[in-house]
Amino acid sequence: MTDIPVIETTRLSLRGPEPEDYPDFKATFTSYRARFMGGPLNAYEAWMLYAAEIGHWQIRGYGMWMIHDRQTDETYGMAGGWKPAKWPEPEIAWVIWPDRNGKGYALEATHAVRDYLYAQCGWDTAVSYIDPKNLDSIRLAERLGAVKDHEAATIDGNDAVYRHPTSEALSGTQLAHGIEMEIGHYADPLFKPKGWALD
């Protein structure tokens, strides 16, 4: 069995998916929120997908972490490395529960898992496969420094491929400082994000 590492960030604790987190996963994946991720799923499909997320860790040695609040332990979503059999390349993926968005949790979690996958899992590049209608996710990919890669193979032609900056491009650069500053703003209790979430 792969022992799934725990990643700690300013506000978050990222752990492997556990049985008791399933109801939160199910709530999102059976909802309209899952429309860009192959959903909404019925209960059986959601359970099977959650089982696959766990099996992915055992088979690949990496996978999707469950995002927990460090203080309260409640879950906010998932982020991590994802490469089921049909994927052309390993992906950095994320999902935030619909009532938890707009707080920068996806940015904070994804920034941390990307560092981990580069430093500990030997990744030298990474993509994110995003539904072109999923504007929130495209915006996040761009804040993470990812750029649309028109040459890269897609999963099935219905997804846009965003190529993440390499480990070198994130090491002590303006890009990395910008991401960390933005996470810092979100983590600041006085910070109020402008505008409102799209969904």
Partner 1 sequence: MTKIPTILTDRLVLREPEPQDFEAYAAFMADARSVMNGGPLDRPAAWGSFAREIGHWTLRGYGLMTLVDKASGAIAGQVGFWNPEGWLEVELGWRVFEGFEGKGLAFEAAVAVRDFAYDTLAWRPLISVIGPENDRSLRLAKRLGARLERDDWQTPAGKPALIYRHPSAGALANAREEAHA
Would you tell me which residues interact with partner 1 (CB under 8 A)?
A: 18-19, 22, 42-48, 50-56, 58-59, 84-86
H-only helix segments in 8-127: 22-29, 43-60, 105-120
SS3 97: coil
Residue of 116, 111, 76, 83 lying closest to 97 (CA atoms): 76
**Least distance CB 64 / partner 1 (angstroms):** 11
Residue entry with tokens 């402008």: 194
**Least distance CB 17 / partner 1 (angstroms):** 8
Output 43 or 119, the one with its CB closest to partner 1. Answer: 43
**Least distance CB 33 / partner 1 (angstroms):** 19
Q: CB-based contacts of 60: which residues, under 8 Å, 6+ apart?
A: 81, 83
Output 51 or 135, the one with its CB closest to partner 1. Answer: 51
**Least distance CB 56 / partner 1 (angstroms):** 5
Output 51 or 169, the one with its CB closest to partner 1. Answer: 51
Q: CB-based contacts of 145: which residues, under 8 Å, 6+ apart?
A: 164, 165, 169, 170, 175, 179
Strands 64-69 and 75-82: antiparallel
Output 58 or 171, the one with its CB closest to partner 1. Answer: 58
**Least distance CB 55 / partner 1 (angstroms):** 3
Output 80 or 145, the one with its CB closest to partner 1. Answer: 80
